[in-house]
Amino acid sequence: MEDDIDLMHKALEKAREAALSGEVPIGALIYDPSSKTVVTSAGNAPISLHDATAHAEIRALRAAGEQLGNYRLTDLWLYVTLEPCAMCAGAISHARIGRVIYGAPDPKGGAIAHGPKFFAQLTCHWKPEVIAGVLAEESSAMLKSFFKARRRKGVTDDGQ
C-alpha cells in the first residue's frame, strides 16, 4: 500500500533523529486511518531518558494515549521501523492497536515473527493485523550503519 510506504518514511525520519541523539535508530508513529492523520510519533530514547522502557513504540503509544485520553487505541495503526520486542508487543496488545506495520525483521530481539511470536500465543488477548517488511531494507541499512559506526568508535551497548 502506498500510504504504508509514506508513513514508514515518517517513522524512518524519527529513527534518524534518534540516531543523531546517540540512540538506536528506531522510529514509530501512531496513525488514525479514519481521519488519515498521524496522531503521534517518537524515536527510541532509553539512553537519553534513562528508561529501559523508552522504546519508540512505547513512547508513541504513551503519547497517543495522553493525546486521546484513553489507553485503548483500538482501530489505530502502529508503524515502526523494526520488528517489536516482547515488551512492545505486550503493550501493543494491551492498547488494542488494530494494525502493526513494521520494517526490518529482528531475529535476535523481535517478538512477532521471531522469538516468542507474541501474537500467536493463546494467552495473547488482542491480536492486531501485522504487515511486515515495509521499507525493510532501508530500516535494516540504517541500523547496520549505526552499529558499524559505534563499533568503529569502540562504543558498547550501554552508551559507554
Query: Where in the sequence numbering do the catalytic residues fall?
Result: 57
Q: What values do phi and psi take at 37, rounded to 5? A: -130, 150
DSSP string of 36-71?
TEEEEEEE--HHHHT-TT--HHHHHHHHHHHHHT-S
The CB density around residue 150, as the number of other CB atoms within 10 Å, is: 15
Number of residues assigned to the chain: 160
